[in-house]
Amino acid sequence: MKEPAKKPHNSKWGAFLLMLAVGFGGWQFGLPELASIFNDRGWDNYKANRLADTKQAYELALSVNPNSRTALYNLGWLCEEVQDLECAQGKYLQAAKLGMPAAYSNLARLYIVDKKNYAAAVHLLWQGLKLAEDNRVKYSLLKNLGWARLKQGRYSEALQHLDAAIKLDSERPATYCLKAQVLEGIKNTKEALPQWKICLKYADSQEFDEDIWIGMARQRLKEEKTNK
């Protein structure tokens, strides 16, 4: 994580002022609008590297609107950022129950990475796809569906889902990293190598999953170079 902001931030006073806003402003703005304000404050705090205040803002959003899917999702995402996976799974599950497709995707990803429960991940992803309208969310769901099928060894289905994700967004590296693994799984190393190269070129080492795939890509391309 980056260094915290240099200016001190009194979180107790911040919380007090926010609670005043709930008391005096709720009648004017309405609870969903106040929850949205707190969500925005949480994002501002995150960008300023104030994680404790970020968490507090999202919790305040939920205190005024317990059914805020966005606040639940954001809090789950924050928990995942600090590797509190039990917290992340719980918040994503709550947001998913309230009909948020992106929460289905993130929850399924944790089932793939943490629980190794690929069948449950597939079920969640299909449920999310029934709800998804935004192409970015559809991309995430399809990418994770391809990932889950890869882990199940169902390679033809994995390729189908990954190619569908690439059609929605051809610039994100995760699908190429996963597609390379699928092609390796069916012993198609010739087609896998270009996918590994794209993966290595564009993947971000600050992203947990992509950092692992960068290591895989480097190793695979090194082996190919040695075998020539």
Residue 102 host element (H or E): helix 101-110
Residue pair 71/65 in contact (Cβ under 8 Å)? The answer is: yes
Using one digit for the tens of pLDDT, what is the confidence trace for 77-132? 999 999 999 999 999 999 999 999 999 999 999 999 999 999 999 999 999 999 99
What is the Cβ-side half-sphere exposure of residue 109, based on CA atoms within 13 angstroms? Answer: 20
Using one digit for the tens of pLDDT, what is the confidence trace for 123-135? 999 999 999 999 9
What single string gives the DSSP state of each residue in 108-163? HHHIIIII--HHHHHHHHHHHHHH--SHHHHHHHHHHHHHHHHHHT-HHHHHHHHH
Nearest to 61 by CA among 28, 39, 33: 39
Q: Is 184 helix (H, G, I), strand (E, B) or coil?
A: helix
- pTM equals 0.85
